[in-house]
Chain A
C-alpha cells in the first residue's frame, strides 16, 4: 500500500519552493539583490543546512555534540582537494561532495560508536575532542596544505545552494517524522523508558549522528566551493559554537526555528560587520540571556505546518 504523496500540504510546500526560487531569480535579474546580498544568501543557506543537521542531533535526539565543525571541515577539504586535483572542473564539486560524505560517514561511525554511550556533558566534551582532533590532523597533512589552507575557484552559485538546502530539509524533516525519527525523539525524552519499550537507543543515536554529519559535510563542500579560501582555523571549536548558537536561538527541536534564527543571525552578522569585535560580546551575552529567560529558544518546539493551517481553514468553514 503506498500513501498518496500528492497531498495538499506537499503541493503547498512544492509551491513555496518553486515560488521562492522564482522570486529570488526575479529579484536578482531586477537588480534588487546585488552581489553582496547574494553572498549573504549563500551564507544563510549554508548556515541553515548546518543548523538543521545539528538540530537533528541536539534537538531531536537530545545528544549534545560540540564537534559539528569537524564534519563541516571534512566536507570542505574533501571538495577542496578534489577540486585541486581536477583543476576546478565543474563536476569536481559533486565528486568532492560524495567523497566528503563517505569520509564523514566513516568518521561519524568511529566517533559515535564509543562516545554515544556517554551522557550529556561528557558527550559534549568527547565530541569537542574529536572535532579538534579532525582539525589538528587536517592542519598537519600535506595534501590539505597545513595551516595555510587551500585557495579554490568559485564553482557554485546560489541555485546549487538552494537545491541542496531543499534536499537537506526534506531528508532531515522526513527522517524526523519517520519511525526512526520518533524513536530518536523517544531517546531524547527518556532514554531508559525507550530502552524498556524495546528501542535500541544506541542504534538511533548513531543514526541521527551520522545523518547530521552527512549534511554538515555537504554544507562544508558548499562553503569551500563558494567562498574561495578554506583554512583549518575556520573550522575550529568556535565554528561549532556558532552553529550551536543558531540552533539554540531558534529553539532546540524546531526546524522552523533553525530557519528563522539562521536568517536573523546571518543578517545580524552582516549588519554588525563593522563592529566585528563587539559581535562576539553580543553573541556571548545573547547565549546567556536566552538560556536564563527563554531556554526553549525563539520558537521552542513549534513547527510551521501547512496541514495545521488547512485544518484551521476547514474548521472555520464548518462553523460558518
Chain B
C-alpha cells in the first residue's frame, strides 16, 4: 500500500508536468488542427533558458520561471509566424511535416550552441521531504504541483473569463464564423501559441529542477507523451489535457514501480493506440459525426 501511494505521488508530480506540455498541444490543435511537433522542443528550450538565466544571474526560482515563460512564448509566436502562418491553407500533412522540420531545426541548433552533453540544472528549490507514515513527498514535488495547479487555474481564467479567451474558443469552434464576427483570427492564433509555449517553458524549468539534468533531446519523448496525454483526455479540450497528463504520469510511475521501467514508454504507446482505436475522441471528448 505504501509503495502504491508512493508511486501514485511520483506519478502525479510527473503527470502534472506532462499536463502542462499537453495543454499547449491541445490548445494549438483545437485552434488550427496542427500537431505542433516542435512543442516538445519549446519545453526543452524553456529548460535551457532557465538554466542559462539561473546560472548567469544567480536568481531564484520565481524570476527564472517567469523569464523562461516569457522567452518561450516569444519563441513560440516567432515560430508560428515564420513556419506555420504561410501554411494556413495547406493540407494538414504539409503542416505536420513543417512542424517536424521545425523540431529538427531547434534540436540541432541547441546541440550546436549548448553542446550535446547533458547539463546539471541548478537546484533552485529547497531540498528536503515530508514523511507521511512511510510515504515520502519531496518539497520539490509539492512545489511542482502547486506551480502547475496555479498555472492551470490561470489558464482556465484566461480561457473562460477574458475577451481573448472567448476569441480563442470562438476560433476553435469555427474559424470563418469567428472572422465574420470581427475576431482577429491571426492575433488569436498567435496568442494561443504564446500561451501554450509559456506553459511548456514553465514545464521545462520544473523538469530541470526535478531531474537535475537537461539535454537538447529531452523534449522528444515527453513531447510525444504529452501529445498522447492530450489525445487521451480528448484533444482540443483543456480539462482533458490535464486529466490525460496526470493519468499518463501515474500509469508510467506504476509500470516502472511494479513492472519493468524498460517498458514504461512502450506501455504509454500501447495506451495511445488503444485510445485511438476504441475512442478516438478521447476520455472527455464527444463523438462528432463526420459530415459528407
Residues in chain B near residue A126, CB distance under 8 A: 272-273, 276
16 pairs of residues in contact across A and B, judged by CB atoms under 8 Å = A122-B231, A125-B35, A125-B276, A126-B273, A129-B270, A130-B273, A136-B262, A140-B260, A237-B220, A277-B111, A277-B112, A280-B108, A280-B111, A291-B90, A292-B98, A295-B94
Tell me, rounded to whole Å, the shortest Cβ–Cβ distance linking A145 to chain B. 15
Query: CA–CA, A292 to B280, complex, Å?
Result: 30
In A231-266, which residues have CB < 8 Å from any B CB? Answer: 237, 241, 244, 248
Q: Are A281 and B276 touching (Cβ within 8 A)?
A: no
Q: Does A114 belong to the interface (CB within 8 Å)?
A: yes
Q: Does B96 belong to the interface (CB within 8 Å)?
A: yes
Contacts A281-B105, A281-B109; A291 near B276 (Cβ below 8 A): no
Residues in chain B near residue A192, CB distance under 8 A: 292
Task: For A63, give the chain B residue with the smallest CB separation.
Answer: B93
Per-residue CB contact flags for chain A residues 139-179 toward chain B (1 = under 8 Å, else 0) read 11000000000000000000000000000000000000000
Per-residue CB contact flags for chain B residues 80-117 toward chain A (1 = under 8 Å, else 0) read 00110011001011111110111111111101100000
Q: Are A136 and B272 touching (Cβ within 8 A)?
A: no
Residues in chain A near residue B105, CB distance under 8 A: 281, 284-285, 288
Residues in chain A near residue B273, CB distance under 8 A: 114-115, 126, 129-130
Q: Does A77 belong to the interface (CB within 8 Å)?
A: no
SS class of chain A's interface: helix, strand, loop or mixed? helix
Please pick, from B83, B270, B280, B292, the residue contacting A122 in the complex, using a CB distance under 8 A.
Answer: B280
Q: Report B's interface with A, CB cutoff 8 A.
A: 35, 82-83, 86-87, 90, 92-98, 100-109, 111-112, 220, 224, 227-228, 231, 260, 262-263, 265-266, 269-270, 272-273, 276-277, 280, 292
Please pick, from B104, B106, B262, the residue contacting A241 in the complex, using a CB distance under 8 A.
Answer: B104
Q: Does A137 belong to the interface (CB within 8 Å)?
A: yes
Q: Are A291 and B98 touching (Cβ within 8 A)?
A: yes
Q: Does A303 belong to the interface (CB within 8 Å)?
A: no
Residues in chain A near residue B277, CB distance under 8 A: 114-115, 117-118
Q: Does A287 belong to the interface (CB within 8 Å)?
A: yes
Q: Does A283 belong to the interface (CB within 8 Å)?
A: yes
Q: Are A283 and B280 touching (Cβ within 8 A)?
A: no
Please pick, from A140, A277, A288, the residue contacting B83 in the complex, using a CB distance under 8 A.
Answer: A288
Residues in chain A near residue B90, CB distance under 8 A: 291, 295
Shortest 4 CB-CB contacts between residues of A and residues of B? A287-B101, A284-B105, A284-B104, A280-B108
Q: Are A286 and B112 touching (Cβ within 8 A)?
A: no
Q: Are B112 and A132 touching (Cβ within 8 A)?
A: no
Q: Are A128 and B98 touching (Cβ within 8 A)?
A: no
Residues in chain B near residue A114, CB distance under 8 A: 273, 276-277
Query: CA–CA, A180 to B87, complex, Å?
Result: 32
Task: For B115, give the chain A residue with the smallest CB separation.
Answer: A277
Query: CA–CA, A230 to B103, complex, Å?
Result: 26
Query: CA–CA, A146 to B26, complex, Å?
Result: 35
User: What count of chain A residues pass the 8 Å CB interface test?
Assistant: 39
Q: Are B108 and A291 touching (Cβ within 8 A)?
A: no
Please pick, from B101, B111, B228, B266, the residue contacting A286 in the complex, using a CB distance under 8 A.
Answer: B101
Residues in chain A near residue B82, CB distance under 8 A: 288
Tell me, rounded to whole Å, the shortest Cβ–Cβ distance linking A88 to chain B. 30
Residues in chain B near residue A121, CB distance under 8 A: 35, 92-93, 96
Query: CA–CA, A120 to B270, complex, Å?
Result: 19
Q: Are B97 and A283 touching (Cβ within 8 A)?
A: no
Q: Are A64 and B269 touching (Cβ within 8 A)?
A: no
Q: Are B107 and A280 touching (Cβ within 8 A)?
A: yes
Q: Does A11 belong to the interface (CB within 8 Å)?
A: no
Q: Are A284 and B102 touching (Cβ within 8 A)?
A: yes
Query: CA–CA, A278 to B112, complex, Å?
Result: 7
Residues in chain A near residue B276, CB distance under 8 A: 114-115, 118, 122, 125-126
Q: Are B270 and A133 touching (Cβ within 8 A)?
A: yes
In A269-319, which residues have CB < 8 Å from any B CB? Answer: 277-281, 283-288, 291-292, 295
Query: CA–CA, A120 to B102, complex, Å?
Result: 19
Residues in chain A near residue B100, CB distance under 8 A: 241, 244, 287
Q: Are A124 and B35 touching (Cβ within 8 A)?
A: yes
Query: CA–CA, A148 to B32, complex, Å?
Result: 42
Residues in chain A near residue B96, CB distance under 8 A: 64, 120-121, 124
Residues in chain A near residue B262, CB distance under 8 A: 136, 139-140
Q: Are A125 and B231 touching (Cβ within 8 A)?
A: yes
Residues in chain B near residue A287, CB distance under 8 A: 97-98, 100-101, 104
Query: CA–CA, A128 to B83, complex, Å?
Result: 23
Residues in chain A near residue B266, CB distance under 8 A: 132-133, 136-137
Residues in chain A near residue B280, CB distance under 8 A: 118, 122
Tell me, rounded to whole Å, the shortest Cβ–Cβ distance linking A303 to chain B. 21
